[in-house]
């Protein structure tokens, strides 16, 4: 067996290295729905298309719907292409997130993409958030306006989670980087989690702090999912291991390239509308991991204050929603 010329070996290394550095999921395998996920709730409101590669989640007066990964993962790259409902979507929440709340009720971890609907003529918004070790007393939300209409076509939303950082991507452009800092203590997600996707009624908080509710005359609201990537180290749930052998599935390092960082900074200047680090109503002093950017603080002051739902955190609301939906449809 002959050896590859040195220039081909170098090219192969560069290709592999670019995947590890950028966090791109383009070279990771795309799964059929049934290869990686199971229905979670919603019965007939979850529809797997004939090709087996796409899923529609419906929300109507009876129930929302959702699915969950078959495996637990400790770190990895996870993504899906999503097309959101159109027209009047106030109160509607579509979520693509990681959680272990079913296993660790009092000290769960969570990494969230939440898409918040709006009244006619107003755009969808993206909210990202993380919890670690049950730290729900500190919401680490950021919100962004979108630079495209997410109801017209599919767009890729991805989470890269490593031992030291979390990066949220939209169409392979990083929009948020969360580094693990010593000042966070145990509040960085560190336990194995499942992947979830759901659509549900968030009327109490999702649009203008609950001012605008879901209007079911526009139902069913349909969120479409495809191009599933689950590239991570699966963990045996009986062991709940906190270590994982990544040799068979290398996890991207999460190093953001200069080009990607420039795009991220430009996007945040144009589209970031809220960050918990600058919320003086919720926090008299910024949470300890925050790095304050005076220009960003000044820019965000022009936006209306963000009102979050009262009472329990939204993760717990999601869990209760599943239970209520299932009992209501029984």
Query: Out of 110, 141, 187, 289, which one is annotated catalytic?
Result: 110
The H-or-E segment that residue 227 falls in is strand 221-235
At a CB cut-off of 8 Å and minimum separation 6, what does 266 contact? none
CA distances from 42 to 47, 267, 317 (A): 10, 36, 16
Alpha-carbon distance of 142 to 130, in angstroms, equals 10
Quick check: 102 and 167 in contact, CB under 8 A? no
User: Whats the size of the chain, residue-wise?
Assistant: 330
User: Which of 322, 305, 151, 160 lies closest to 221 in space, CA to CA?
Assistant: 151
Quick check: 53 and 34 in contact, CB under 8 A? no
Alpha-carbon distance of 48 to 128, in angstroms, equals 27
Quick check: 147 and 116 in contact, CB under 8 A? no
Alpha-carbon distance of 286 to 274, in angstroms, equals 14
Alpha-carbon distance of 76 to 193, in angstroms, equals 11
User: Which of 223, 224, 198, 22 lies closest to 110 in space, CA to CA?
Assistant: 198
Query: Out of 34, 61, 114, 141, which one is annotated catalytic?
Result: 114
Alpha-carbon distance of 117 to 97, in angstroms, equals 17
Is-catalytic flag, 152?
Answer: no
Scan for tokens 């107003």, then name that residue. Answer: 122
Is-catalytic flag, 114?
Answer: yes
Quick check: 232 and 78 in contact, CB under 8 A? yes
**Strand, helix or coil at 171?**
coil
Active-site positions read: 110, 114
């Amino acid at each position: 067996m002959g050896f590859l010329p040195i220039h081909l070996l170098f090219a192969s290394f560069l290709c592999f290295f670019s995947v590890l550095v950028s966090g791109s999921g383009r070279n990771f395998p795309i799964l059929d729905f049934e290869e990686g996920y199971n229905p979670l709730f919603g019965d007939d409101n979850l529809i797997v298309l004939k090709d087996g590669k796409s899923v529609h989640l419906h929300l109507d007066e009876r129930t929302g719907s959702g699915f969950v990964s078959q495996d637990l993962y400790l770190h990895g790259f996870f993504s899906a292409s999503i097309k959101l409902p159109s027209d009047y979507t106030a109160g509607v929440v579509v979520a693509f997130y990681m959680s272990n709340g079913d296993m660790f009720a009092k000290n769960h971890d969570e990494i969230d993409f939440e898409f918040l609907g709006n009244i006619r003529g107003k755009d969808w918004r993206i909210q990202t958030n993380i919890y670690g070790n049950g730290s729900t007393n500190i919401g680490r939300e950021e919100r962004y306006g979108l630079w495209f209409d997410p109801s017209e076509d599919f767009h890729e939303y991805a989470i890269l989670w490593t031992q030291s950082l979390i990066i949220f991507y939209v169409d392979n452009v990083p929009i948020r980087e969360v580094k693990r800092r010593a000042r966070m203590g145990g509040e960085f997600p560190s336990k194995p989690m499942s992947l979830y996707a759901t659509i549900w009624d968030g009327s109490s908080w999702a649009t203008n702090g609950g001012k605008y509710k879901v209007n079911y005359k526009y139902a069913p609201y349909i969120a479409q999912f495809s191009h599933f990537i689950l590239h991570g180290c699966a963990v045996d749930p009986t062991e709940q291991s906190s270590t994982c052998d990544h040799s068979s599935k290398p996890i991207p390092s999460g190093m953001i390239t200069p080009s990607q960082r420039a795009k991220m900074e430009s996007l945040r200047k144009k589209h970031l509308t809220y960050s918990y680090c600058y919320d003086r109503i919720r926090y008299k002093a910024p949470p300890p991991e925050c790095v304050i950017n005076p220009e960003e603080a000044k820019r965000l002051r022009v936006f209306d204050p963000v009102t979050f739902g009262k009472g329990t955190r939204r993760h717990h609301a999601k869990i209760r929603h599943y239970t209520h939906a299932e009992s209501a449809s029984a």
